[in-house]
Structure 1
Amino acid sequence: MNSKYRQLFNANLTVDKYKNFIDDFTSDFDYAVTFRIGESPFFIPIELKEQLLEGCQQVIDFIKRDDFRSITDRALELNRKVPNEDNHTTFLAIDFGICEEDGEIVPKLIEVQGFPSLFNFQQNLSQKFISHYPFLSELTPFLSGLTSETYLKLIEDVICNNHPKENVILLEIEPEKQNTKIDFYYCHRDIGIPVVCVTELYQKGKQLFYKNDKSEEILVKRIYNRVIFDELDLRTDLKLNFDFSSDVDVEWAGHPNWFFRISKFILPYLKGKYFIETTLLSDLKEIPADLENYVLKPLFSFSGSGVIFHVKREDIEAVKEKDLYILQKKVNYKPVIQSPDGKVKAEVRILAVWKKEAESPTFVTNLVRLSRGEMIGVKFNKDKDWVGGTVGMFEK
């Protein structure tokens, strides 16, 4: 899509260069990343960048509606509600498939999450691409005029909100076992906050504490929340020493309620050029005859779990809680990235942060996933090259 940089990059790429690139990550923490990193950035042309940001702004306009909370209260009723919800989400991850419609390239909204993504990993990924391919310094992965330095400062401000670093924790379920733990490593290194397992957090009255590596009791004032309740509910083996539903004296960098409010739950409400026909199963008047053109998705699952790509009538009829599933029209992902042996599909996730007193979120960077398979995702791309996670690079 950006032929100058695509040709330049492909001419410079070798098997050894890719290996050295991956080894660079491993050397940072003596840890091999457990998800696949794509060989190349996605060179995003100005027109597509403008479309992506226009689509994001339309999502944000909906989120800022006066009736947004009343519309999405049902999402909390269907899941759980955590006290002390703030006025708006802290994080936004807005996913667009790069598709073809009427012969034109157009981004289509696939998913939106009021939840943090790989903010620290993406920063390091882009800098390593530039380190290994110096001509990429002419481009930027950042948005809103940010640089590497101002980006990190903004992420730190949003996560810590001026609290001492030891009183701010990244909270996760057994973080050392998570596929995304490389992001936690970079967060700890670049921002300086501890990474704490949910089992290590404990409650005294209305306060939460953890013990540091010297076994000293430390008060928690702010939580950078990475816990997915979907996963937590399945982990009945874990013994928690606090209750998410408790009214505790703590701030949230990413209040858990926004994970449910800003989710697939809002997709049926979004109409327009960048949005896909989406229907809540409980609102479905009749099952479409052309089910091969639809995908069935649970509202609140994470990382694609529970999605049925080849939907049958009996799949829909078997769903008991129909207000927890959507039927979404399939879109035509257009292979747009030229690899050495054919073109590759892409999905772009625009990442935004929303400072506590700000009127609107700030677009900061992006995450890209490459695919040769039927869908974006690991199980559709096993044993393939030019697939996996990467970053989009924009002209400055």
Structure 2
Amino acid sequence: MIPELRKEFNERFTARKYELFKQRLTERCRAEIGFRISETPFFVPRHIQQACEQGAVELAMLAHDPEYLKLSDATLQPEYAVPNQTDRSMFLVVDFAMAEGENGEVVPRLIEMQGFPSLMGFQIAFAELTQEHWGLPDNLGYINGGHTRQEVLGLLHRAIVAQHDPENVVLLELDPWNQKTCCDFQIMRELLGLHVADIRFVKKVGGKLHYEKDGRLVPIHRIFNRAIVDEIQKKGVELPFGWGDEIDVEWAGHPNWYFRISKFTLPYLNHPLVPQAIFLDRMAELPQNLDAFVLKPLYSFAGAGVIVGPTEAEVNGVPAEQRDKYILQERITYAEAITTPEGGTKAEYRIMLVWMPGEERPRPIMGLVRMGRGKMMGVDFNRNMTWIGAGCNFYQG
């Protein structure tokens, strides 16, 4: 998308250097990377960068509108509602398709947003190594929101560790070291000094949670939550505490926001970057051109259950009692935004936001890119292809 950078990168690329890069990235993370790393970064024009950052902030604020928040009460199932909810989602991610505009230009269009953190630590390490390994110009930036690296690290420390001893702060996940994202957990542990804990093995003593370390119980004062209820429920895991228990702990990213800001939010957003989305149970009749829509379940992860261009039979096959948990979203025509030796590649650009207590607006801090040529984006839907997968963003400063 920045032609001179794209041309130079493609001409200098070699498969051997790419294999060496992946090896170095694994060594840097000291953990396996459970998803495909693309051969290329994403060179994003400054106007696209700014449009996505501004759009992400505006959409995050719309998702905190008091009227919408009343409606989002419907997303909280009693068994998963956590007490003492914060007044805002500390972490948000906003995913934009690099779409084809009316005149063939590349324009951002919202795909999804979630009140949940993403790979903030990994993307820092990923971008730094990418710039060094491939010899990219020093004037290329990879930190979002006009921040420096030190400012982002300070922001993450204040958001996640706050005033606590890092020993009493845990990154909480289900079976963390076997997750595809464990590379991020390792980097976050390195950057912040926190402990990575398996949610199955924390111990509840009275009204407090603890983890075991060197034969002693360490009290947990603050939780950076990365555990996804969908996965816990799907795997039938029994937790040592209930989500609704009154527990003496602070949340760096309160779990309720995962539900409140989600696919459920999309039909309520009135913004130029947002395609039409309708709850399935509110449709008097189906559109004639179903091929121009995407059927999405509200509560799933990694693209599970999504049908691009569904048939009438597939839509009607959703049980009546489940139709309020599905949306039909206008299908977006992706631009072949990245020129590669394998042809044009499509991209989604994720903006990661942190919203600190007392601040009027969330801050964009990092970006993440997914590239693909399949019917759906995401590494699980583009297997056996090259020049696709996860990437980092660079823009001209």
TM > 0.5 between the two? yes
Deviation, 1:314, is: 2.0
Letter aligned with residue 264 of structure 1: K
Deviation, 1:29, is: 5.3
Greater mean alpha carbon deviation, residues 117-126 or residues 11-20: 11-20
Deviation, 1:227, is: 0.7
Post-superposition Cα deviations, 1:184-242, rounded to whole Å, max 9, x if no partner, equal 11111221111101111121221111111x12111101101011101111222x34221
Cα distance between partner residues in 2 of 1:150 and 1:272: 30
Cα distance between partner residues in 2 of 1:339 and 1:29: 27
Cα distance between partner residues in 1 of 2:393 and 2:107: 16
Letter aligned with residue 251 of structure 2: W
5+ long unaligned stretches in structure 1: none
Letter aligned with residue 64 of structure 1: H
Alignment partner, residue 336 of structure 1 = 337
Alignment partner, residue 283 of structure 2 = 284
Alignment partner, residue 222 of structure 1 = 222
Q: Please give the secondary structure, in 2, of the residue aligned with 1:199.
A: coil
Alignment partner, residue 318 of structure 2 = 319
Q: Is the 8 A contact 2:31 2:186 kept in 1?
A: no
Q: Is the 8 A contact 1:346 1:368 kept in 2?
A: yes
Alignment partner, residue 27 of structure 1 = 27
Q: Please give the secondary structure, in 2, of the residue aligned with 1:136.
A: coil
Cα distance between partner residues in 2 of 1:350 and 1:122: 11
Alignment partner, residue 235 of structure 2 = 235
Alignment partner, residue 65 of structure 1 = 65
Return the TM-score normalized by structure 1. 0.96
Alignment partner, residue 270 of structure 2 = 271
Post-superposition Cα deviations, 1:323-378, rounded to whole Å, max 9, x if no partner, equal 10001111100001111232111100001111122222111010000111122023
Q: For 1:21-60, what aligned pairs fall within 5 Å after superposition?
A: 21-28=21-28, 31-60=31-60
Return the TM-score normalized by structure 2. 0.95
Aligned pair in 2 of structure 1 residues 388, 12: CA closer, same or farther (>3 Å)?
same
Greater mean alpha carbon deviation, residues 12-21 or residues 260-269: 12-21
Post-superposition Cα deviations, 1:32-54, rounded to whole Å, max 9, x if no partner, equal 32210111111111221222123
Post-superposition Cα deviations, 1:96-154, rounded to whole Å, max 9, x if no partner, equal 00001312321110000100100110010000011112333211111222222222221
Aligned pair in 2 of structure 1 residues 197, 2: CA closer, same or farther (>3 Å)?
same
Q: For 1:83-232, what aligned pairs fall within 5 Å after superposition?
A: 83-103=83-103, 104-212=105-213, 214-232=214-232
Post-superposition Cα deviations, 1:248-287, rounded to whole Å, max 9, x if no partner, equal 1111111110000110111001133211110001111111
Q: Is the 8 A contact 1:141 1:365 kept in 2?
A: yes
Deviation, 1:30, is: 5.0
Deviation, 1:78, is: 8.0
Q: Please give the secondary structure, in 1, of the residue aligned with 2:138.
A: helix
Q: Is the 8 A contact 2:97 2:111 kept in 1?
A: yes
Cα distance between partner residues in 2 of 1:210 and 1:54: 40
Deviation, 1:79, is: 7.2
Q: Please give the secondary structure, in 2, of the residue aligned with 1:73.
A: helix
The runs of 4+ residues in structure 1 deviating greater than 4 Å are: none
Greater mean alpha carbon deviation, residues 122-131 or residues 186-195: 186-195
Aligned pair in 2 of structure 1 residues 79, 394: CA closer, same or farther (>3 Å)?
farther
Q: Please give the secondary structure, in 1, of the residue aligned with 2:49.
A: helix
Q: For 1:288-307, what aligned pairs fall within 5 Å after superposition?
A: 288-307=287-306
Q: State whether structure 2 residue 256 is matched by structure 1 residue 257.
A: yes
Deviation, 1:61, is: 3.0
Aligned pair in 2 of structure 1 residues 57, 387: CA closer, same or farther (>3 Å)?
same
Letter aligned with residue 365 of structure 1: M
Deviation, 1:157, is: 1.7
Number of aligned pairs? 394
User: Could you say what the CA RMSD is over the residues aligned between the two structures, in angstroms?
Assistant: 1.5
Letter aligned with residue 239 of structure 2: L
Post-superposition Cα deviations, 1:62-95, rounded to whole Å, max 9, x if no partner, equal 1232323212111114873111101100101000
Deviation, 1:384, is: 0.9
Q: Please give the secondary structure, in 2, of the residue aligned with 1:92.
A: strand
Cα distance between partner residues in 2 of 1:201 and 1:379: 31
Q: Is the 8 A contact 2:85 2:254 kept in 1?
A: yes
5+ long unaligned stretches in structure 2: none
Cα distance between partner residues in 2 of 1:29 and 1:272: 38
Aligned pair in 2 of structure 1 residues 79, 348: CA closer, same or farther (>3 Å)?
farther
Cα distance between partner residues in 2 of 1:34 and 1:311: 30
Q: Please give the secondary structure, in 1, of the residue aligned with 2:136.
A: helix
Alignment partner, residue 82 of structure 1 = 82
Cα distance between partner residues in 2 of 1:370 and 1:16: 21
Post-superposition Cα deviations, 1:282-328, rounded to whole Å, max 9, x if no partner, equal 11111111111111101121111111124121222222211100011
Q: Is the 8 A contact 1:25 1:32 kept in 2?
A: no
What fraction of aligned residue pairs are identical, expressed as a percent? 36
